[in-house]
């Protein structure tokens, strides 16, 4: 419920990069929420030029979309395109701002919880643009791990040092270690 006769809304975006780095942007000026400052321009990664409408999907596709950022430098665009940033969490909120004080009223409403999928650097005449495609965090539900197997090597990859499957070789039918036999 909005609390003011004058309604001033802002969009907030946060990208949580590995290593404790954050990109926090809003759609004009700056606001502070929950001790974090959201600005319209990030000193390294620039600002958002455009945002594609977030699309719901059906069947075996997760929701997704795209934002286009205007990074401050090509180095910043390359930095944001690191492979380890794939899957980084992106969240969006809508917040009411008190027009007299510039502070956020109440708790912003989260509108999306997403993950970075791919980035594409475009270098048009006189600048650079970085398209960031994102998918819903639910995309993990569609991942198929074809390398999963009931053997010691895979078990050690998941649980280093856990030796429960070490001697489970040459048996005609594998049974997960620690599982009671059917009666």
Each residue of 78-106: pLDDT tens digit?
888 888 888 899 999 999 998 888 889 99
Q: What pLDDT digit, counting tens, does each position of 152-162 carry?
A: 777 777 888 88
For the chain, the residue count is 183
Our count of domains for the chain comes to 1
What CATH number has the domain bearing residue 122?
2.30.110
The mean predicted confidence, pLDDT, of the chain is: 80
Contact of 36 with 108, CB cutoff 8 Å = no
When pLDDT is averaged across residues 43-50 and rounded to a whole number, the result is 90
Q: Is residue 159 part of a domain?
A: no
Q: Is residue 173 part of a domain?
A: no
| Cβ neighbours, 10 Å, residue 20 | 6
Query: Which H/E stretch holds residue 9?
Result: strand 9-17
When pLDDT is averaged across residues 55-62 and rounded to a whole number, the result is 57
Q: Is residue 163 part of a domain?
A: no
Give percent of the chain with pLDDT exceeding 90: 34
Q: How far apart are CA 101 and CA 35, in angstroms?
A: 16
pLDDT value for 95: 95
Q: Is residue 66 part of a domain?
A: yes
Tokens describing residue 120: 């594409």
Q: Is residue 14 part of a domain?
A: yes
Q: Is residue 168 part of a domain?
A: no
Strands annotated E in 46-173: 47-51, 64-70, 89-97, 104-122, 129-136
pTM score: 0.69
pLDDT at 141 over 80: no
Q: Is residue 161 part of a domain?
A: no
Alpha carbon distances (Å) from 105 to 2, 37, 94, 102, 170: 8, 15, 11, 9, 65
Of the pLDDT bands very low, low, confident and very high (cuts 50, 70, 90), residue 57 is low
Q: Which domain holds residue 42?
A: 9-141
Of the pLDDT bands very low, low, confident and very high (cuts 50, 70, 90), residue 4 is low
Q: Is residue 33 part of a domain?
A: yes
């Amino acid at each position: 419920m909005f609390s003011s006769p004058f309604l001033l809304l802002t969009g907030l975006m946060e990208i949580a990069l590995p290593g404790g780095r954050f990109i926090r942007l809003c759609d004009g000026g700056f606001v502070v929420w929950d001790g974090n400052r959201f600005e319209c321009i990030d000193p390294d990664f620039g600002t958002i030029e455009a945002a594609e409408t977030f699309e719901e999907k059906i069947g075996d596709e997760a929701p997704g979309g795209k934002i286009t950022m205007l990074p401050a430098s090509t180095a910043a665009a390359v930095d944001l395109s690191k492979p380890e940033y794939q899957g980084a969490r992106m969240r969006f909120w809508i917040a009411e701002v008190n027009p007299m004080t510039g502070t956020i009223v109440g708790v912003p409403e989260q509108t999306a919880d997403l993950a970075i999928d791919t980035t594409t650097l475009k270098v048009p005449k006189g600048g650079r643009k970085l398209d960031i495609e994102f998918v819903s965090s639910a995309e993990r539900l569609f991942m198929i791990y074809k390398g999963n197997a009931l053997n010691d090597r895979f078990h050690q990859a998941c649980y280093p040092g856990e030796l429960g499957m070490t001697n489970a070789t040459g048996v005609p039918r594998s049974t997960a270690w620690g599982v009671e036999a059917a009666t």
